[in-house]
A and B are shown apart, each in its own frame.
Chain A
Amino acid sequence: MEKTRLSVSDFIAVTNQTLEYAYPLVEIEGEVASFKVNQGKFIFFDIKDAGGSLGCFMTVWQMRTPIEDGMKVIVTASPKLTQWGKFSLTVKAVRPSGEGALKKSFEILKAKLDKEGLFALERKRPLPAVPSHIAVISSTQAAGYADFIKILNDRWGGLRVEVAHVQVQGVSAPDQIIRALNYFNSRDDLPEAVVIIRGGGSADDLSAFNDEQLVRAIAASRIPTLVGVGHEVDESLADLAADVRAATPSNAAQILVPDKQELIRAVKYQVRSLLPRVDSAISQQLAKIKSFLMEALESVSDKVDDNLNQLAGMRRVLAELNPATVLARGYALLRGVTTVGEMIEVETNKSIIKAEVKDVKVK
Protein backbone atom coordinates (compact mmCIF):
# COMPACT_ATOMS: atom_id res chain seq x y z
CA MET A 1 0.00 0.00 0.00
CA GLU A 2 1.39 3.36 -1.05
CA LYS A 3 1.94 5.71 1.80
CA THR A 4 0.41 9.20 1.52
CA ARG A 5 2.81 11.94 2.30
CA LEU A 6 1.19 15.15 3.54
CA SER A 7 2.41 18.40 4.92
CA VAL A 8 1.53 19.08 8.59
CA SER A 9 -1.02 21.71 7.55
CA ASP A 10 -2.60 19.35 5.01
CA PHE A 11 -2.78 16.56 7.57
CA ILE A 12 -4.51 18.86 10.03
CA ALA A 13 -6.95 19.99 7.28
CA VAL A 14 -7.69 16.40 6.19
CA THR A 15 -8.18 15.28 9.78
CA ASN A 16 -10.58 18.14 10.38
CA GLN A 17 -12.48 17.31 7.17
CA THR A 18 -12.79 13.71 8.33
CA LEU A 19 -13.93 14.76 11.77
CA GLU A 20 -16.43 17.19 10.28
CA TYR A 21 -17.84 14.44 8.07
CA ALA A 22 -17.96 11.87 10.86
CA TYR A 23 -19.14 14.18 13.68
CA PRO A 24 -20.56 17.42 12.26
CA LEU A 25 -22.14 18.14 15.64
CA VAL A 26 -22.00 15.91 18.68
CA GLU A 27 -23.50 16.08 22.16
CA ILE A 28 -21.18 15.03 24.94
CA GLU A 29 -22.09 14.78 28.61
CA GLY A 30 -19.49 15.18 31.33
CA GLU A 31 -18.28 17.19 34.31
CA VAL A 32 -16.70 20.63 33.91
CA ALA A 33 -13.11 21.16 35.08
CA SER A 34 -10.53 23.97 34.78
CA PHE A 35 -13.15 26.51 33.69
CA LYS A 36 -11.61 29.89 32.77
CA VAL A 37 -12.42 33.00 30.73
CA ASN A 38 -9.62 34.73 28.79
CA GLN A 39 -9.75 38.42 27.83
CA GLY A 40 -13.42 38.46 28.76
CA LYS A 41 -14.21 36.82 25.40
CA PHE A 42 -12.91 33.26 25.22
CA ILE A 43 -13.92 30.39 27.44
CA PHE A 44 -11.77 27.29 27.99
CA PHE A 45 -12.70 24.28 30.08
CA ASP A 46 -12.33 20.53 30.17
CA ILE A 47 -15.18 18.06 30.16
CA LYS A 48 -14.38 14.79 31.83
CA ASP A 49 -15.67 11.54 33.21
CA ALA A 50 -14.00 8.64 35.04
CA GLY A 51 -12.37 7.45 31.84
CA GLY A 52 -11.06 10.60 30.17
CA SER A 53 -11.00 14.33 29.59
CA LEU A 54 -11.56 16.62 26.55
CA GLY A 55 -10.59 20.26 26.09
CA CYS A 56 -13.40 22.64 25.11
CA PHE A 57 -13.41 26.12 23.61
CA MET A 58 -16.27 28.58 23.14
CA THR A 59 -16.93 32.32 23.09
CA VAL A 60 -18.56 34.21 25.94
CA TRP A 61 -21.61 35.16 23.85
CA GLN A 62 -22.33 31.48 23.20
CA MET A 63 -22.57 30.83 26.94
CA ARG A 64 -26.34 31.11 27.60
CA THR A 65 -26.40 29.68 31.12
CA PRO A 66 -23.63 29.92 33.70
CA ILE A 67 -21.46 26.88 34.40
CA GLU A 68 -18.66 26.22 36.83
CA ASP A 69 -16.22 23.51 37.80
CA GLY A 70 -17.83 20.31 39.04
CA MET A 71 -21.10 20.95 37.21
CA LYS A 72 -22.47 18.21 34.98
CA VAL A 73 -23.17 19.58 31.49
CA ILE A 74 -24.07 18.56 27.96
CA VAL A 75 -21.99 20.30 25.29
CA THR A 76 -23.07 20.53 21.67
CA ALA A 77 -19.77 20.75 19.80
CA SER A 78 -17.67 20.04 16.71
CA PRO A 79 -14.43 18.12 17.30
CA LYS A 80 -11.38 19.84 15.88
CA LEU A 81 -7.63 19.41 15.64
CA THR A 82 -5.95 22.77 16.17
CA GLN A 83 -2.93 24.01 14.19
CA TRP A 84 -0.81 23.22 17.25
CA GLY A 85 -1.94 19.61 17.09
CA LYS A 86 -4.18 19.76 20.06
CA PHE A 87 -7.55 18.00 19.90
CA SER A 88 -10.36 20.21 21.14
CA LEU A 89 -14.14 20.57 21.06
CA THR A 90 -15.43 23.80 19.54
CA VAL A 91 -18.57 24.27 21.63
CA LYS A 92 -21.73 25.70 20.03
CA ALA A 93 -23.87 25.37 23.13
CA VAL A 94 -23.57 24.14 26.66
CA ARG A 95 -26.36 23.38 29.08
CA PRO A 96 -26.45 22.00 32.58
CA SER A 97 -27.43 18.35 32.85
CA GLY A 98 -29.33 16.84 35.72
CA GLU A 99 -31.40 18.44 38.42
CA GLY A 100 -28.46 19.51 40.60
CA ALA A 101 -26.57 21.25 37.78
CA LEU A 102 -29.72 22.95 36.46
CA LYS A 103 -30.53 24.26 39.92
CA LYS A 104 -26.98 25.46 40.49
CA SER A 105 -26.87 27.23 37.12
CA PHE A 106 -30.30 28.75 37.78
CA GLU A 107 -29.19 30.14 41.15
CA ILE A 108 -25.96 31.64 39.76
CA LEU A 109 -27.75 33.41 36.90
CA LYS A 110 -30.63 34.48 39.14
CA ALA A 111 -28.20 36.13 41.57
CA LYS A 112 -26.35 37.84 38.71
CA LEU A 113 -29.46 39.25 37.00
CA ASP A 114 -31.05 40.17 40.31
CA LYS A 115 -27.93 42.20 41.14
CA GLU A 116 -28.35 44.03 37.83
CA GLY A 117 -31.93 44.89 38.82
CA LEU A 118 -33.64 42.91 36.05
CA PHE A 119 -36.21 41.51 38.48
CA ALA A 120 -36.79 44.75 40.40
CA LEU A 121 -40.42 45.48 41.21
CA GLU A 122 -40.09 49.12 40.12
CA ARG A 123 -39.38 47.92 36.56
CA LYS A 124 -42.72 46.13 36.36
CA ARG A 125 -45.35 47.69 34.10
CA PRO A 126 -49.06 47.00 34.33
CA LEU A 127 -50.87 45.14 31.57
CA PRO A 128 -53.74 46.96 29.83
CA ALA A 129 -57.01 46.49 31.72
CA VAL A 130 -58.84 45.30 28.62
CA PRO A 131 -56.46 44.82 25.68
CA SER A 132 -57.65 44.82 22.09
CA HIS A 133 -54.44 43.60 20.41
CA ILE A 134 -52.01 41.08 21.90
CA ALA A 135 -49.11 38.93 20.75
CA VAL A 136 -48.61 35.33 21.82
CA ILE A 137 -45.30 33.47 21.60
CA SER A 138 -45.66 29.73 22.01
CA SER A 139 -45.68 26.42 20.24
CA THR A 140 -49.10 26.13 18.61
CA GLN A 141 -48.88 22.34 19.06
CA ALA A 142 -48.34 22.59 22.82
CA ALA A 143 -51.10 21.74 25.29
CA GLY A 144 -50.35 24.95 27.18
CA TYR A 145 -51.16 27.02 24.07
CA ALA A 146 -54.47 25.19 23.58
CA ASP A 147 -55.39 25.80 27.23
CA PHE A 148 -54.54 29.49 26.88
CA ILE A 149 -56.62 29.98 23.73
CA LYS A 150 -59.59 28.07 25.20
CA ILE A 151 -59.67 30.15 28.37
CA LEU A 152 -59.10 33.34 26.35
CA ASN A 153 -62.07 32.57 24.07
CA ASP A 154 -64.26 31.56 27.01
CA ARG A 155 -63.53 34.75 28.88
CA TRP A 156 -63.41 37.50 26.26
CA GLY A 157 -64.05 38.41 22.62
CA GLY A 158 -63.13 41.02 20.04
CA LEU A 159 -59.44 40.58 20.69
CA ARG A 160 -56.85 40.61 17.90
CA VAL A 161 -54.40 37.83 18.75
CA GLU A 162 -51.17 37.45 16.76
CA VAL A 163 -49.44 34.14 17.38
CA ALA A 164 -45.75 33.47 16.73
CA HIS A 165 -45.11 29.74 16.54
CA VAL A 166 -41.75 28.85 18.10
CA GLN A 167 -40.06 25.94 19.78
CA VAL A 168 -40.51 26.12 23.54
CA GLN A 169 -37.91 23.55 24.52
CA GLY A 170 -34.50 22.50 23.32
CA VAL A 171 -31.34 24.32 22.33
CA SER A 172 -32.91 26.52 19.65
CA ALA A 173 -35.96 27.55 21.73
CA PRO A 174 -34.43 30.64 23.41
CA ASP A 175 -33.23 32.12 20.10
CA GLN A 176 -36.60 31.50 18.43
CA ILE A 177 -38.45 33.15 21.29
CA ILE A 178 -36.00 36.09 21.22
CA ARG A 179 -36.56 36.52 17.44
CA ALA A 180 -40.33 36.47 17.93
CA LEU A 181 -40.04 39.03 20.74
CA ASN A 182 -37.87 41.25 18.55
CA TYR A 183 -40.35 40.86 15.67
CA PHE A 184 -43.28 42.10 17.76
CA ASN A 185 -41.20 44.85 19.37
CA SER A 186 -40.15 46.20 15.97
CA ARG A 187 -43.70 46.44 14.63
CA ASP A 188 -45.30 49.81 13.87
CA ASP A 189 -48.61 48.65 15.36
CA LEU A 190 -47.23 47.40 18.65
CA PRO A 191 -49.38 44.85 20.43
CA GLU A 192 -50.51 46.05 23.86
CA ALA A 193 -49.05 42.99 25.58
CA VAL A 194 -46.91 40.03 24.63
CA VAL A 195 -47.65 36.67 26.22
CA ILE A 196 -45.04 33.89 26.37
CA ILE A 197 -46.49 30.54 27.32
CA ARG A 198 -45.51 26.94 27.68
CA GLY A 199 -47.14 24.07 29.55
CA GLY A 200 -45.54 21.89 32.20
CA GLY A 201 -42.45 19.75 31.69
CA SER A 202 -39.29 18.51 33.31
CA ALA A 203 -36.67 20.92 34.64
CA ASP A 204 -34.65 20.24 31.48
CA ASP A 205 -37.70 20.96 29.25
CA LEU A 206 -38.25 24.30 30.97
CA SER A 207 -34.57 25.25 31.06
CA ALA A 208 -34.96 27.27 27.83
CA PHE A 209 -36.73 29.88 29.96
CA ASN A 210 -33.61 30.28 32.09
CA ASP A 211 -31.50 31.32 29.11
CA GLU A 212 -29.64 34.55 29.92
CA GLN A 213 -30.20 36.22 26.55
CA LEU A 214 -33.90 35.35 26.57
CA VAL A 215 -34.31 36.70 30.10
CA ARG A 216 -32.56 39.93 29.05
CA ALA A 217 -34.75 40.20 25.93
CA ILE A 218 -37.91 39.84 28.04
CA ALA A 219 -36.67 42.51 30.46
CA ALA A 220 -35.85 44.82 27.53
CA SER A 221 -39.18 44.39 25.73
CA ARG A 222 -40.93 47.66 24.81
CA ILE A 223 -44.22 45.80 25.04
CA PRO A 224 -45.37 44.76 28.54
CA THR A 225 -44.74 41.04 29.00
CA LEU A 226 -46.79 38.28 30.59
CA VAL A 227 -45.02 34.96 31.05
CA GLY A 228 -46.81 31.73 32.00
CA VAL A 229 -44.45 28.76 31.93
CA GLY A 230 -44.97 25.32 33.43
CA HIS A 231 -47.05 24.66 36.50
CA GLU A 232 -47.65 26.81 39.55
CA VAL A 233 -44.60 25.41 41.39
CA ASP A 234 -42.19 26.03 38.49
CA GLU A 235 -40.17 29.23 38.66
CA SER A 236 -38.16 30.38 35.66
CA LEU A 237 -35.96 33.43 35.24
CA ALA A 238 -38.22 34.47 32.34
CA ASP A 239 -41.09 34.62 34.89
CA LEU A 240 -39.03 36.85 37.16
CA ALA A 241 -38.04 39.23 34.35
CA ALA A 242 -41.59 39.52 33.00
CA ASP A 243 -43.79 42.46 33.91
CA VAL A 244 -46.44 40.01 35.09
CA ARG A 245 -45.97 36.36 35.98
CA ALA A 246 -48.74 33.82 35.44
CA ALA A 247 -48.68 30.49 37.27
CA THR A 248 -49.78 28.55 34.16
CA PRO A 249 -50.85 29.32 30.55
CA SER A 250 -54.51 29.15 31.65
CA ASN A 251 -53.76 31.60 34.44
CA ALA A 252 -52.13 33.89 31.83
CA ALA A 253 -55.45 34.09 29.96
CA GLN A 254 -57.27 34.79 33.24
CA ILE A 255 -54.86 37.62 34.05
CA LEU A 256 -54.95 39.09 30.55
CA VAL A 257 -58.68 39.54 29.96
CA PRO A 258 -61.73 39.98 32.16
CA ASP A 259 -64.42 37.30 32.29
CA LYS A 260 -67.36 38.40 30.13
CA GLN A 261 -69.80 36.32 32.23
CA GLU A 262 -68.64 38.18 35.34
CA LEU A 263 -68.97 41.49 33.48
CA ILE A 264 -72.50 40.62 32.32
CA ARG A 265 -73.42 39.73 35.91
CA ALA A 266 -71.87 42.99 37.17
CA VAL A 267 -73.70 45.07 34.54
CA LYS A 268 -77.04 43.43 35.41
CA TYR A 269 -76.36 43.97 39.09
CA GLN A 270 -75.56 47.65 38.47
CA VAL A 271 -78.90 48.17 36.70
CA ARG A 272 -80.85 46.14 39.30
CA SER A 273 -79.28 48.20 42.06
CA LEU A 274 -80.77 51.37 40.55
CA LEU A 275 -84.40 50.50 41.40
CA PRO A 276 -83.86 50.33 45.18
CA ARG A 277 -82.02 53.64 44.84
CA VAL A 278 -85.07 55.21 43.16
CA ASP A 279 -87.32 53.64 45.83
CA SER A 280 -85.04 54.99 48.50
CA ALA A 281 -85.11 58.46 46.88
CA ILE A 282 -88.92 58.37 46.83
CA SER A 283 -88.99 57.26 50.49
CA GLN A 284 -86.56 60.02 51.42
CA GLN A 285 -88.68 62.57 49.57
CA LEU A 286 -91.84 61.36 51.34
CA ALA A 287 -90.06 61.44 54.68
CA LYS A 288 -88.91 64.98 53.97
CA ILE A 289 -92.46 66.10 53.09
CA LYS A 290 -93.80 64.38 56.22
CA SER A 291 -91.14 66.08 58.26
CA PHE A 292 -92.06 69.48 56.79
CA LEU A 293 -95.75 68.86 57.64
CA MET A 294 -94.85 67.83 61.18
CA GLU A 295 -92.73 70.93 61.58
CA ALA A 296 -95.60 73.11 60.33
CA LEU A 297 -98.02 71.37 62.68
CA GLU A 298 -95.66 71.78 65.61
CA SER A 299 -95.22 75.42 64.73
CA VAL A 300 -99.02 75.98 64.72
CA SER A 301 -99.32 74.07 67.99
CA ASP A 302 -96.54 76.15 69.55
CA LYS A 303 -98.29 79.36 68.45
CA VAL A 304 -101.59 78.17 70.01
CA ASP A 305 -99.76 77.26 73.24
CA ASP A 306 -98.10 80.68 73.30
CA ASN A 307 -101.45 82.42 72.87
CA LEU A 308 -103.05 80.26 75.54
CA ASN A 309 -100.21 81.03 77.92
CA GLN A 310 -100.56 84.72 77.15
CA LEU A 311 -104.32 84.50 77.79
CA ALA A 312 -103.76 82.73 81.08
CA GLY A 313 -101.35 85.49 82.13
CA MET A 314 -103.84 88.16 81.23
CA ARG A 315 -106.51 86.27 83.15
CA ARG A 316 -104.28 86.18 86.20
CA VAL A 317 -103.68 89.93 85.92
CA LEU A 318 -107.42 90.54 85.47
CA ALA A 319 -108.18 88.39 88.47
CA GLU A 320 -105.71 90.42 90.54
CA LEU A 321 -107.47 93.60 89.45
CA ASN A 322 -110.96 92.34 90.35
CA PRO A 323 -112.28 94.43 93.39
CA ALA A 324 -113.88 91.30 94.84
CA THR A 325 -110.38 89.77 95.14
CA VAL A 326 -109.17 92.85 97.01
CA LEU A 327 -112.26 92.71 99.33
CA ALA A 328 -111.54 88.98 99.89
CA ARG A 329 -108.10 89.90 101.18
CA GLY A 330 -109.85 91.99 103.94
CA TYR A 331 -109.94 95.39 102.35
CA ALA A 332 -113.21 97.47 102.20
CA LEU A 333 -114.68 99.79 99.62
CA LEU A 334 -115.77 103.17 100.87
CA ARG A 335 -118.37 105.24 99.04
CA GLY A 336 -119.54 108.76 99.95
CA VAL A 337 -118.01 112.05 101.14
CA THR A 338 -115.69 111.77 104.14
CA THR A 339 -116.87 114.86 105.89
CA VAL A 340 -117.91 114.82 109.56
CA GLY A 341 -121.64 114.19 109.84
CA GLU A 342 -122.02 112.76 106.35
CA MET A 343 -123.24 109.22 105.71
CA ILE A 344 -120.92 106.85 103.90
CA GLU A 345 -121.24 103.28 102.62
CA VAL A 346 -118.56 100.68 103.52
CA GLU A 347 -118.56 97.50 101.45
CA THR A 348 -116.61 94.49 102.73
CA ASN A 349 -116.26 91.02 101.38
CA LYS A 350 -119.36 89.88 103.14
CA SER A 351 -121.51 93.02 103.86
CA ILE A 352 -122.39 96.57 102.94
CA ILE A 353 -122.41 98.92 105.95
CA LYS A 354 -123.98 102.38 106.23
CA ALA A 355 -121.95 104.61 108.60
CA GLU A 356 -121.74 108.18 109.75
CA VAL A 357 -118.44 110.08 109.60
CA LYS A 358 -117.55 111.12 113.13
CA ASP A 359 -113.99 112.29 112.69
CA VAL A 360 -111.57 112.92 109.87
CA LYS A 361 -107.83 113.21 110.37
CA VAL A 362 -105.50 114.15 107.61
CA LYS A 363 -102.51 111.76 107.36
Chain B
Amino acid sequence: MSKSNKTVQEKTIELSELVAWFDSEDFSLEAALDKFKVAEALAEEIEADLVALRNDIQLVKKKFDSEE
Protein backbone atom coordinates (compact mmCIF):
# COMPACT_ATOMS: atom_id res chain seq x y z
CA MET B 1 0.00 0.00 0.00
CA SER B 2 1.60 3.26 -1.04
CA LYS B 3 1.32 6.70 0.55
CA SER B 4 -2.13 6.41 2.16
CA ASN B 5 -3.74 3.56 4.07
CA LYS B 6 -6.72 3.41 1.75
CA THR B 7 -7.43 0.19 -0.12
CA VAL B 8 -7.27 -0.05 -3.90
CA GLN B 9 -11.05 -0.15 -3.95
CA GLU B 10 -11.34 3.02 -1.85
CA LYS B 11 -8.84 4.77 -4.08
CA THR B 12 -10.67 3.61 -7.20
CA ILE B 13 -13.95 5.00 -5.82
CA GLU B 14 -12.21 8.28 -4.94
CA LEU B 15 -10.82 8.51 -8.47
CA SER B 16 -14.24 7.83 -9.98
CA GLU B 17 -15.73 10.60 -7.83
CA LEU B 18 -13.01 12.99 -8.95
CA VAL B 19 -13.62 12.11 -12.59
CA ALA B 20 -17.37 12.57 -12.08
CA TRP B 21 -16.68 16.06 -10.67
CA PHE B 22 -15.32 17.09 -14.09
CA ASP B 23 -18.75 16.29 -15.57
CA SER B 24 -20.76 17.77 -12.72
CA GLU B 25 -22.31 21.19 -12.26
CA ASP B 26 -19.68 21.91 -9.58
CA PHE B 27 -16.99 21.94 -12.26
CA SER B 28 -14.97 25.15 -12.39
CA LEU B 29 -11.92 25.88 -14.46
CA GLU B 30 -10.18 27.41 -11.44
CA ALA B 31 -10.39 24.16 -9.42
CA ALA B 32 -9.89 21.80 -12.39
CA LEU B 33 -6.10 21.90 -12.43
CA ASP B 34 -5.77 20.96 -8.74
CA LYS B 35 -8.34 18.20 -9.10
CA PHE B 36 -6.52 16.87 -12.16
CA LYS B 37 -3.23 16.70 -10.23
CA VAL B 38 -4.94 14.76 -7.41
CA ALA B 39 -6.50 12.35 -9.94
CA GLU B 40 -3.16 11.78 -11.64
CA ALA B 41 -1.46 11.02 -8.29
CA LEU B 42 -4.29 8.66 -7.32
CA ALA B 43 -3.98 6.76 -10.60
CA GLU B 44 -0.25 6.30 -9.99
CA GLU B 45 -0.91 5.06 -6.45
CA ILE B 46 -3.53 2.59 -7.66
CA GLU B 47 -1.14 1.21 -10.28
CA ALA B 48 1.69 0.89 -7.74
CA ASP B 49 -0.63 -0.85 -5.25
CA LEU B 50 -1.96 -3.29 -7.82
CA VAL B 51 1.50 -4.23 -9.01
CA ALA B 52 2.78 -4.72 -5.44
CA LEU B 53 -0.18 -6.67 -3.99
CA ARG B 54 0.26 -10.43 -3.58
CA ASN B 55 -2.37 -13.03 -2.69
CA ASP B 56 -2.05 -14.77 0.66
CA ILE B 57 -2.77 -18.46 0.00
CA GLN B 58 -3.17 -20.63 3.11
CA LEU B 59 -3.78 -24.36 3.12
CA VAL B 60 -6.40 -25.34 5.70
CA LYS B 61 -4.81 -27.71 8.23
CA LYS B 62 -7.99 -29.62 8.88
CA LYS B 63 -8.30 -32.97 7.08
CA PHE B 64 -11.50 -33.77 5.27
CA ASP B 65 -10.94 -37.47 4.52
CA SER B 66 -13.00 -38.65 7.50
CA GLU B 67 -15.64 -37.42 9.97
CA GLU B 68 -14.14 -36.12 13.19
Say if A and B assemble together.
Answer: yes
B-chain residues with CB within 8 Å of residue A275 when the two chains form the complex: 36
Considering only residues 166-184 of chain A, those with a C-beta below 8 Å from chain B are 166-167, 172, 176-177, 179-180, 183
A235-243, A278-286, A295-303, A314-322: which lies at the B interface?
A: A278-286
Give Cα distance in the complex from A108 to B27, angstroms: 63
* Choice from A157, A164, A166, A268 contacting B55 with Cβ under 8 Å: A157
Closest to A159 in B: B55
Nearest residue (CB) in A for B28 is: A281
Q: Which residues of A contact B64 (CB under 8 A)?
A: 164-166, 176-177, 179-180, 183
Hey, which chain B residues are within 8 Å of A130, CB to CB? 9
Determine which of B23, B47, B57 lies in contact with A267 in the assembled complex, contact meaning CB atoms within 8 Å. Answer: B47
Write the chain A residue with the least CB distance to B60: A164
* CB atoms of B29 and A282 under 8 A apart: yes
CA distance A163 to B59 in the complex (A): 5
* A172→B64 CA distance, assembly (Å): 10
| Residues in A neighbouring B60, C-beta threshold 8 A | 162-165, 180, 183
A167-B64 Cα distance, complex, nearest whole Å: 9
- Residue pair A268, B62 in contact (C-beta under 8 Å): no
Q: Within the assembled complex, what's the spacing in Å between the Cα atoms of A167 and B63? A: 11
Which residue from chain B places its CB closest to the CB of A259 in the assembled complex? B50
Closest approach, in angstroms, between the C-beta of A160 and any C-beta of chain B? 5
**Chain A residues, Cβ within 8 Å of B47:** 264, 267-268
Q: Is the CB of B12 within 8 A of A278?
A: no
Give the B interface residue count (CB, 8 A). Answer: 34
Contacts of A281 in B (CB 8 A): 27, 29, 32
Q: How far is the CA of A180 from the CA of B46 in the complex (A)?
A: 35
| B32-68 contact mask (Cβ, 8 Å, vs A): 1 or 0 | 1100100110010011001111111111101011010
Chain A, 230-275, CB within 8 A of any chain B CB: 260, 263-264, 267-268, 270-271, 273-275
B19 near A274 with CB under 8 A, answer yes
Q: Are A161 and B43 in contact (CB under 8 A)?
A: no
In the complex, what residue of chain A is closest to B33 when comparing beta carbons? A278
A5 at the interface (CB under 8 A from B): no
In the complex, the chain B residue whose C-beta lies closest to that of A156 is B55
**B65: A residues at CB distance < 8 A:** 166-167, 172, 176
Contacts of A180 in B (CB 8 A): 60, 64
Q: How far is the CA of A160 from the CA of B60 in the complex (A)?
A: 12
Residues of the A chain whose Cβ atoms lie less than 8 Å from the Cβ of B46: 263-264, 267
Closest B residue to A137 using CB positions: B64
Nearest-Cβ distance from residue B14 to partner chain A, whole angstroms: 11
| B57 / chain A contacts, CB cutoff of 8 Å | 149, 161, 163
Instruction: Give complex CA distance A172, B9 in Å.
Output: 41
List A contacts of B36 (CB < 8 A).
271, 274-275, 278
Q: Is the CB of A162 within 8 A of B29?
A: no
* CB pairs A–B below 8 angstroms (18 shown): A157-B50, A157-B52, A158-B8, A161-B55, A161-B56, A161-B58, A163-B58, A164-B60, A165-B64, A177-B64, A180-B60, A260-B51, A264-B51, A267-B43, A271-B19, A271-B36, A274-B39, A278-B36
B contact residues vs A (CB 8 Å cutoff): 7-9, 12, 15-16, 19, 22-23, 27, 29, 32-33, 36, 39-40, 43, 46-47, 50-60, 62, 64-65, 67
Given contacts A161-B57, A164-B64, A285-B29, 15 further A-B contacts (CB under 8 A): A156-B53, A156-B55, A158-B8, A163-B59, A165-B64, A172-B65, A176-B65, A180-B60, A183-B62, A260-B53, A263-B46, A267-B46, A268-B47, A271-B15, A271-B36
Rank and list the top 4 A-B pairs by shortest CB-CB distance, nearest first: A157-B53, A158-B53, A260-B50, A179-B64
